Structure 1
Amino acid sequence: MDNKHGNGTLDNNGAGLSLIYTLHAVSHLSKDEFELLKLLRNDSSILDNFNDEGHEKFSKIKKILKSFNLSSIQDVIEIIENYKLFELYNF
């Protein structure tokens, strides 16, 4: 019997993240991680200070990238901006 609702996994199809996939990823971010994204959105030059892998924020950035299955924090920020989630998740 076929499952008409899919297998329950979320997939990044490579053509941009779907809204559902993005909401799922954003909902798993901590408040600190989301605040870091907002900070980086306003001033991406801050990334230059986080290049040390031992830095606390570097590990947060890596976790965010893993959540979104992306390799660039700018891509994450653009996707969140496209869906206007910075305004929605104004906590």
Structure 2
Amino acid sequence: MANTSSAKKNVRKMARKTAVNKARRSSVRTFLRRVEEAITAGDKTAATAALQQAEPALMRAVSKGVFHKNTASRKISRLNKRVKAIA
């Protein structure tokens, strides 16, 4: 347990940041899930629309420090490849 007042404050700060980051990560995962569902359904227009919403959400999470830039780029690239593969 934290002993000093500054350590206690840091614990409070971390708790707030953790909650915010958890919400952001959850939101991004929802966007990614929508793309996945559209791909498995074989609906190219829905998948394209979902990807256009997911991409900025993912990059916004990167700018907030939730995901690493390369991770987001990799996810977008792979999803884009799968959306284009829908015939």
Normalised-by-shorter TM-score class: 0.3 to 0.5
Q: Taking structure 2 as the reference length, what is the TM-score of the superposition?
A: 0.34
**Going by fraction, where is helix more abundant, 1 or 2?**
2
TM, length-normalised to structure 1: 0.33
